[in-house]
Structure 1
Amino acid sequence: MFDIKTDRLHLIPNNRKFLHSTHAYASDFEVTQFMLHLPNNSLEETEEFLRVCEENWKNYQADEFQLEFAILYEGKHVGGLGLSKDRGNPCVELGWILAKDYWHKGIAYEAAQAAIAYFAKQFQVTSFIAHCDADNKASFGLMERLGMKRKSKKTGRFNKSSQIETSELLYELDLS
């Protein structure tokens, strides 16, 4: 369960085995500048995140979860793909992050597309959402390539790396 493969990628539960590779992208300002909860400021902060990931995988429940996949490309850990669901809400939220050396190779698109297909088939999920900073053109461009439609734009977003208020976009993919 939760072993997702494509021609180029392997998505597996993220864990402390990937501490250093996760920290490499999670602490990189260029990679995380549009993120709410990143960058991580220490290896210990990344380790705690991965410990929580392991707990979330261990305590998985179909009606409420927060799962983080490690994205393996040619056997190397290059990023993460998160999926979360709140109890009582049919939508699954997607999020992704990639080490910058792997940008513009279609990896995030392929990983997200594979996760959407997997959760739609295995768990009959028909609604996926994703949020991003309105200035993160790569992220909302990916959402649009996935077939997601922009549902809203709101103010009041504060990314961890900045004290400046920005706007947030919400996209949705309805498979029903």
Structure 2
Amino acid sequence: MHIVCETEALVIRKFELTDTDFIIRLLNEELFIRYIADKGVRSHEDAIRYLTQGPMACYEANGFGLNMVILKSTNTAIGMCGLLKRPELTCPDLGYAFLSQYCGKGYAFEAAEAVIADEMKRYGLTKIQAVTYPDNIPSNQLLIKLGFDNIGKIELYGSTNNLYQFGD
């Protein structure tokens, strides 16, 4: 297990191929499909493809990527959080998603704050970005709470998104 960072309540670690059941569950949550995308992950094989072509490919290319977020107290997987590198953006961007029963409890803030601090220092980043749909109020509020500035709009994958930046 490769731990990226820890907080008082959370362990944030890189994904492993044994995380397929969790990936199937998270990527099929209603809010994930609505605010991120339907990734078409329905089976163990789909989850392996998602992990190897997504987070694990990102680790290989950049060192960072989306990570599993686990509650320390129960060793329960509750979400994912990490940095991505999309060709459409000028710098890495923050991504996160949590199972619905763990939303609104401060875990996304705690995980994102830790990932930002750790990854910016580790990779010498001076700024990161984030994108979210304008109607995803909780995500927009989270980014502002984390210290991101709304710097405009960006068209991504056929939809208009708010573009946020943290740092320079």
**TM-fit CA distance, 1:20:** 0.6
Using the alignment, how far apart are the partners of 2:32 and 2:95 within structure 1? 13
* SS of corresponding position for 1:33: helix
Residues 1:76 and 2:76 are matched in the alignment: yes
What is the aligned partner in structure 2 of residue 103 from structure 1?
103
Instruction: Find runs of 4+ consecutive structure 1 residues off by over 6 angstroms.
Output: none
What is the aligned partner in structure 2 of residue 141 from structure 1?
141
The one-letter amino acid of 1:82's match is G
Question: CA-to-partner distance for each residue in 1:107-153, whole Å, 9 max, x for gaps?
Answer: 11111100111022222211010001111111111100001000112
**TM-fit CA distance, 1:17:** 1.3
Residue pairs, 1:85-96, within 5 angstroms: 85=85, 91-96=91-96
Q: CA RMSD in A?
A: 2.4
Question: Hey, which of these two has a bigger chunk of helix by percent?
Answer: 2
Using the alignment, how far apart are the partners of 1:173 and 1:152 within structure 2? 13
Structure 1 unpaired stretches of 5+: 159-165
* Count of aligned residue pairs for this structure pair: 162
C-alpha contact 2:83 2:93 (8 A) present in aligned 1? yes
Using the alignment, how far apart are the partners of 1:73 and 1:40 within structure 2? 27
Residue pairs, 1:146-157, within 5 angstroms: 146-154=146-154
**TM-fit CA distance, 1:2:** 5.3
Using the alignment, how far apart are the partners of 1:66 and 1:120 within structure 2? 10
Residues 1:18 and 2:19 are matched in the alignment: yes
- The 1:157–1:136 alpha-carbon spacing in structure 2 relative to 1, beyond 3 Å, is farther
TM-score when normalising by structure 2: 0.84
Question: CA-to-partner distance for each residue in 1:36-91, whole Å, 9 max, x for gaps?
Answer: x335341232221112233443x244xxx56120011132111111312369x873
What is the aligned partner in structure 1 of residue 56 from structure 2?
54
C-alpha contact 2:66 2:95 (8 A) present in aligned 1? no
* SS of corresponding position for 1:10: strand
Question: CA-to-partner distance for each residue in 1:4-31, whole Å, 9 max, x for gaps?
Answer: 0010111111122111112111012233
* SS of corresponding position for 2:35: coil
What is the aligned partner in structure 2 of residue 161 from structure 1?
none
The one-letter amino acid of 1:173's match is F
Q: Residue 168 of structure 1: which of 155, 161, 164 is its match?
A: 161
* SS of corresponding position for 1:69: strand
